[in-house]
Structure 1
Amino acid sequence: MGVLRSTQSMEAEVEEMRAALLLHGTGAWRSGGGAAKRAARAEEGAAEARTVCVTGGTSFVGFAVVDRLLRHGYNVRLALETQEDLDKLREMEMFGENGRDGVWTVMANVMDPESLHEAFHGCVGVFHTSSLVDPGGISGYTKHMASLEAKAAEQVVEACVRTESVRKCVFTSSLLACVWRQNYAHDRRFPTTIDENSWSDESFCRDNKLWFALGKTMAEKAAWRAARGTDLKLVTICPALVTGPGFRRRNPTPSIAYLKGAHAMLGDGLLATADVERVAEAHVRVYEAMNSTAGGRYICYDHVVRRAEEFAELQRQLGLPAGRVPVPAPADRVARLELCNRKLAALMSARRRCTYDAYFPVLYE
């Protein structure tokens, strides 16, 4: 693990960027005065307190989280795994003439604890947004990927615990880790409200080959187990199907994997979407509240798909073949299941007079 060095020119460019960041953060040392040095140390300490690491920063959600963190004044370290990841950042103009101050890259493999530890060193917080996707799978996600994702989640949280500087971790899970149970609509033993206390049944997911839901459920549970009994503060955010500008181009495989079983979710009132910008803002706001009230799980969505036409439009946007779209049963015939993200709404409500309102016009229905 280290700063990316695929070629000499790449090494020079990244080192130049890092040198510029260091110069920007410690320029006061050049004056040589004691007051200037003390000011520089204070400035350096403040910068360290605002330094976080993001895994999966080239993904649809990860990139939005990085951008939102930068807007909020954080220094962001991107944990990249391959040269392809850096190429993606270049395509998105994260670096170069229009690059952003306050962001730099390190190499880290989510399956390599030592590289994760080195990547997290010096950061006070970690945002684990990375997700494993197998393009060779029918839906882009296989049973094997579910096991790998759970292992990666465990490795990341254990690395956070091991790294002395890291105090907080925000883990990106999925609403799919909450919604899948046997006979939800007919078994009165289960609540009709799906909230942060709800967990998907792993056996049900296996039986119905809902591998993406299985992977998210297993990964989140693995993260909670790894953090149990430690000083690490952990929260998990469970977003619905993440949409937004360009999501077909930039997030096709996870979206298609998410929609496996979508007909059943639509019929039960559990198919929801979340705009990527709102998801990113939720990550930052929850992270900032972790010193006081934030904890546990947070469901994040801004729209519930209730009409067949809306679902057909989702299929069209993803380039999926149109199929039979079931019409949800009337409320007087089948008890409706309801999604609830009031916990996230309550956390955000204290900031309702701030910029938050611009990003969360609707929090629950």
Structure 2
Amino acid sequence: MKEIEARSEDMDHEKPTVCVLDASTYVGFWILKGLLSKGYTVHAAIQKNGETEIVKKIRDMETIEERLMVSTVDVLDYHSILEALKGSFALFCCLDCQDGYDDKMVDLEVRGAINVVEACAQTETIEKIVFNSSLTAAIWRENICSEKDVDERSWSDKEFCRKKKLWYALVKTLSEQAAWALAMDRMLNMVSINAGLVLGPAIAQKNPQVTMSYLQGAAQMYENGVLAIVDVKFLADVNIRAFEDRSTCGRYFCFNKIVNSEQEAVKLAESLSPLISLPPRYECQGREVYAEKLRNKKLNKLVEGTVY
């Protein structure tokens, strides 16, 4: 009898199946690893981006990890998304173009985001969406230099992004806004994680184009106190916490540090070598420290008491 009760208790605490789409992105891969380490069964949905190093790692993991199932998905094909979501309790959405961003990419990623959210609405099992967006969806507008606080209520100005050719920021703004509009219309439980510039192991080699796309306008971000960085392991953990905590709602700014001094700018350039080099003017610049404008009180509450 005790053995039966013990097995029943184990089943009650069994982790649900979740889906990561696109698991072959840099962020998606770290979320996948975090979920597996916590005992979740994971559907890894991979877009057709060729046999990248991350894709090969995921394929290798599938051969030894019973709780990992890998499938190929096309975010412009609604039915392939539905197939990938089958049996999943939650979706971690991580859409990034590995080839970088230009004006032609804008419509494609927005359409993909809409298809993903709509597919979630049509499934019977998805109970929560964790949508990975970017701080660049909140920090770009004409008068940002005069603002004191930038928080989850802030959105980037789409026309300003077009004018300045900030394609990454424009894509992330449009995609997130479209996802939110559809999620609210379909009454879906969704949270978004607005991440700073993602840093982590071999980031310059494994995520070069996305990293450089984020850094469009880096000098202005730096001078306006809105250039922030986040460790990919921390970002993955925040994703999982946002899913597990039933009280989470809305947007969450996610970053570890704001780069607002010459010393921090030098550290950032060094961490991204050889992708970027330190601009000469920073090498001879004074010790000015720019005021931090980003606020992440919601994130602090979510990860309260945790040491990283």
Same fold (TM over 0.5): yes
Aligned-pair CA distance for 1:321 = 4.1
1:21-43 alpha-carbon deviations (Å, 9 max, x no partner): xxxxxxxxxxxxxx98xx69x94
Q: 1:72 to 1:280 in 2, by over 3 A?
A: same
Relative to structure 1, is the Cα distance of residues 328 and 239 closer, same or farther in structure 2, using a 3 angstrom cutoff?
Answer: farther
Which residue of structure 1 lines up, in the alignment, with residue 30 of structure 2? 64
Q: Which structure 2 residues correspond to residues 277-296 of structure 1 after superposition, within 5 A?
A: 277-289=233-245, 291=246, 293-296=247-250
Contact residue 262 and residue 288 of structure 2 kept, 8 A: no
Q: How many residues align?
A: 298
Greater Rg by CA: 1
Q: Secondary structure at the match of 1:94?
A: helix
**Alignment-mate amino acid for residue 348 of structure 1:** V
Residues 59-88 of structure 1: CA distance to partner in whole angstroms, max 9, x if unpaired?
211111011111111110011223835873
Distance 1:94 1:83, change over 3 A: farther
Aligned to 2:129: 169
Map residues 1-365 of structure 1 onto 2, 5 A cutoff: 43=11, 50-82=16-48, 84=50, 88-91=54-57, 93-96=60-63, 99-134=64-99, 140-186=100-146, 191-289=147-245, 291=246, 293-316=247-270, 317-319=272-274, 320-325=276-281, 336=291, 338-349=293-304, 352=305, 357-359=306-308
- Whole-Å Cα distance in 2 between the matches of residues 192 and 224 of structure 1? 26
State the AA in 2 paired with 1:161.
A
Shift of the 103–358 alpha-carbon distance from structure 1 to 2, 3 Å rule, reads: farther
- Deviation of 1:101 (Å): 3.1
Q: Is the contact made by 2:138 and 2:152 (CA closer than 8 Å) also made in structure 1? A: yes
Alpha-carbon separation, structure 2, partners of 1:201 and 1:114: 33
Change (3 A) 1:262 1:142: same
CA distance 1:325–1:75, change in 2 (3 Å): farther
Alpha-carbon contact 1:311-1:325 (below 8 Å) kept: no
Structure 2 residues without counterparts, runs of 5 or longer: none
User: Root-mean-square deviation (CA), in Å?
Assistant: 2.4
Cα distance between partner residues in 2 of 1:121 and 1:256: 35
**TM-score (norm. length: structure 2):** 0.89
C-alpha change, 1:345 and 1:236, in structure 2 (3 Å) is same
Aligned 8 A contact 1:243 1:274 in 2: yes
TM, length-normalised to structure 1: 0.75
Distance 1:330 1:74, change over 3 A: same
Look up the equivalent residue of 1:101 and give its one-letter code.
Answer: E
SS, match of residue 104 in structure 2: helix
Q: Give me the identity figure in percent.
A: 34
Gap change, CA 1:328 and 1:207, over 3 Å in 2: farther
Counterpart residue type for residue 23 of structure 2: G
Amino acid at match of 1:108: V
Report SS of the residue matched to 2:70. Answer: strand
5+ unaligned residues in a row in structure 1: which ranges?
1-34, 135-139, 360-365
CA–CA distance in structure 2, aligned partners of residues 267 and 296 of structure 1: 28
